[in-house]
């Protein structure tokens, strides 16, 4: 079976004509049969693509061939299937939404994976801050990290208020690939935090360099995999929502009106129809019954018209 190459990338840079840029990106990806999602705004690009080694290489060559992207960093993983079904290139107001007026030239200094390892081994006092959403940190985090209870990145500024008395402390932020830390640290500096850093190139890069060290659990990703394969041997830190056994099977609740991310083992997934609660099981059964009747009614109507 051919291996699938998956790349994650972003860059904050002035894109003067997003509409034209989007058209060229979409045309190239369509021609090369790449799958994934690229967000474009005047502030930059944020994307994740999948394809063969050759397809991904061509895209990297294409993007870095443009002066403003010649230094863009790609985080790359290998998979056994494409985590995307189609190619989407879309314009947004922000490539990572925070709804804050920020000067992104003023952001936290980078700390390399090696430097983070050394920091953990030192006697220096520091704070490690997760800038991701709660359902991401639930399945994986750095040792002793603070994990804010937020559902979206837009809630980060409000969550940061709990660290008002830590403005003089050394704080290391991290996220999956680095993009959220760029804005998080920029906001923190704006709010008066004095000693702010961001993990260079994020969790995926760290785990590739130092597997089975400071990272606990798995790494959530925003594609069909849900969990990255970057550290497949890591022990789960989560438990099945029903039986509470150690587990890191992350799925969406089958009930369409819920659709929450849940951790559910294989047995309970069968016993509860892939749902997070008895209520959702009942709603899911009602939903599938209704859809089945609608299909049958549509077919019966067609048959009646044919006669």
Contact between 14 and 42 under an 8 Å Cβ cutoff? The reply is: yes
Three state DSSP letters for the chain: CCCEEEEEEEEECCCCCHHHHHHHHHHHHHHCCCEEEEEEECCEEEEEEEECHHHHHHHHHHHHCCHHHCCCCEEEEEECCCCCCCEEEEECCCCCCCCCCCCCCCCCEEECHHHHHHHHHCCCCCEEEECCCHHHHCCEEECCCECCCCCCHHHHHHHHHHHHHHCCCEEEEECCCCHHHHHHHHHHHHCCCCEEEEECCHHHHHHHHCCCCCEEECCECCCCCCECCCCCCCCCCCECCCCCCECCCEEECCCCCCCCEEECCHHHHHHCCCCCCHHHHHHHHHHHHHHHHHHHHHHHHHHHHHC
| Total length of the chain | 307
Contact between 58 and 22 under an 8 Å Cβ cutoff? The reply is: no
Dist CA 152 CA 241 (whole Å): 22
How far, in whole angstroms, is CA 270 from its chain's centroid?
27
Q: Residue written as tokens 């991904």?
A: 56
29, 175, 247, 268: the active-site residue: 175
Token pair belonging to 46: 């944020």
Q: How many CA atoms lie within 13 A of 124 on its CB side?
A: 15
Catalytic residue flag (residue 175): yes
The residues carrying an active-site annotation are 175
């Amino acid at each position: 079976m051919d291996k699938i190459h998956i790349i994650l990338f972003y860059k904050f840079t002035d894109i003067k004509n997003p509409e034209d840029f989007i058209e060229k990106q979409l045309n190239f990806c369509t021609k090369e049969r790449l799958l994934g999602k690229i967000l474009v705004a005047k502030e930059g690009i944020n994307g994740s693509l999948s394809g063969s080694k050759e397809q991904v290489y061509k895209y990297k060559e294409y993007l870095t061939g443009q002066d403003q992207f010649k230094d863009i960093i790609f985080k790359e993983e290998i998979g056994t299937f494409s985590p995307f079904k189609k190619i989407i290139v879309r314009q947004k107001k922000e490539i990572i939404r925070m709804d804050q007026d920020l000067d992104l030239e003023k952001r936290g200094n980078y700390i390399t994976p090696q430097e983070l390892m050394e920091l953990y081994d030192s006697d220096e006092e520091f704070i490690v801050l997760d800038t991701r959403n709660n359902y991401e940190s639930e399945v994986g985090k750095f040792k002793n990290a603070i994990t804010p209870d937020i559902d979206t990145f837009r809630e980060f500024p409000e969550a940061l208020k709990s660290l008002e008395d830590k403005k003089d402390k050394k704080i290391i932020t991290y996220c999956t690939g680095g993009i959220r830390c760029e804005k998080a640290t920029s906001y923190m500096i704006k709010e008066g935090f004095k000693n702010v850093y961001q993990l260079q190139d994020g969790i995926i890069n760290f785990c590739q360099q130092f597997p089975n060290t400071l990272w606990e659990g798995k790494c959530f990703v925003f594609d069909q995999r849900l969990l990255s394969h970057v550290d497949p041997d890591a022990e789960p830190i989560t438990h099945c929502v029903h039986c509470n056994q150690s587990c890191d099977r992350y799925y969406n609740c089958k009930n369409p009106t819920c659709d929450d991310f849940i951790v559910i083992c294989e047995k309970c997934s069968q016993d509860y129809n892939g749902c997070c609660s008895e209520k959702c099981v009942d709603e899911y059964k009602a939903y599938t019954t209704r859809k089945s009747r609608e299909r049958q009614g549509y077919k019966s109507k067609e048959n009646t018209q044919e006669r």
